[in-house]
């Protein structure tokens, strides 16, 4: 399956920096990084053997694994530290609904790291989760640049990427009327009233004749 392999991208060899100051076994499921201490490059099938405590992977793969986890098709009990989601300026940013899905599936904090076209990380998210700290400014970065001090202590500008725009559903088509209008009124009520009138008349005549025969009355000559 495509999600079981590393993404086939020819990227430069960059050293990956984990966003938390902890020692954890980290699995890199994306090409282009040089593994550091306690890091290993592996595929999805190798995760049970590697037993990582943190994952580094593209957003699409992370969402796929979260969906499989909720459906009981994937499990990684060793994952207990964090998930680092890799995005690019061309991709959709990590949205709140993505974070909710990943949290429900794995129960660990999620961090976003933005990569440039050459594979280098150009902005990273800290524990405060209030934008991405910009490492390398690029002209094609879209979003709000925040220059105030972050609660984590870093003074670098932060990028707040705009949420993805969801496509609006097309309005439902209104079915055409079954009955064509006749002089401002529909033919259906007219037909019902007409049938009701004749039915009532027939019942009335029938009851009058039955009553007359039972009373011995004869119709007038």
Residues 95 and 148 in one domain: yes
How many structural domains compose the chain? 2
Please determine, for residue 174, whether its predicted confidence score (pLDDT) is greater than 80: no
* Pick from 157, 156, 161, 129: nearest CA to 142: 161
Whether residues 9 and 112 share a domain: the answer is yes
Considering the domain boundaries, does residue 170 fall inside one?
A: no
Report if residue 210 sits inside a domain: yes
Q: Stretch 169-178: mean pLDDT, rounded?
A: 58
**Domain that includes residue 193, residue range:** 181-214
Same domain for 127 and 189? no
Asked if 44 and 148 sit in the same domain, the reply is yes
Cα separation of 37 and 17, whole Å?
A: 10
Residue 148 and residue 109 share a domain: yes
Alpha-carbon distance 131 to 162, whole Å?
Answer: 10
Query: Do 39 and 128 sit in the same domain of this protein?
Result: yes
177/91: higher pLDDT: 91
pLDDT digits (tens, 9 = 90+) for 95-113: 999 999 999 999 999 999 9
Do both 61 and 155 map to the same domain?
A: yes
Average pLDDT of the chain is 79
Q: Is residue 61 part of a domain?
A: yes
For 178-202, b/e burial (b = at least 16 CB within 10 A) is eeeeeeeeeeeeeeeeeeeeeeeee
Average pLDDT estimate for 75-81? 96
Which H or E run contains 180? Answer: none
Range with the poorest average pLDDT among 5-9, 150-154, 168-172:
5-9
- Whether residue 118 is found in the same domain as residue 196: no
């Amino acid at each position: 399956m495509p999600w079981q392999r590393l993404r086939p991208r020819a990227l430069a060899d960059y050293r990956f920096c984990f966003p938390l100051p902890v020692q954890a076994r980290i699995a890199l499921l994306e090409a282009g990084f040089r593994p550091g201490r306690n890091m290993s490059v592996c595929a999805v099938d190798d995760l049970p053997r590697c037993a990582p405590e943190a994952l580094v992977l593209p957003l699409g793969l992370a969402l796929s694994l979260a969906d499989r986890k909720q459906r009981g098709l994937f499990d990684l009990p060793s994952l207990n530290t964090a998930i680092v989601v890799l995005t690019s300026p061309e991709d959709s940013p990590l949205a709140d609904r993505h974070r909710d899905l990943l949290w429900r599936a794995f129960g660990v904090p999620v961090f976003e790291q933005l990569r440039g076209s050459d594979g280098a990380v150009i902005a990273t998210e800290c524990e405060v989760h209030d934008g991405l700290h910009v490492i390398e400014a690029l002209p094609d970065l879209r979003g709000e640049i925040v220059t105030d001090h972050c609660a984590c202590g870093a003074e670098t500008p932060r990028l707040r990427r705009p949420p993805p725009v969801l496509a609006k559903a097309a309005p439902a088509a209104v079915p055409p009327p079954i009955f064509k209008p006749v002089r401002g009124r529909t033919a259906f009520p007219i037909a019902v009233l007409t049938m009701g009138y004749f039915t009532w008349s027939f019942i009335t005549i029938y009851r009058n004749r039955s009553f007359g025969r039972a009373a011995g009355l004869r119709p007038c000559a």
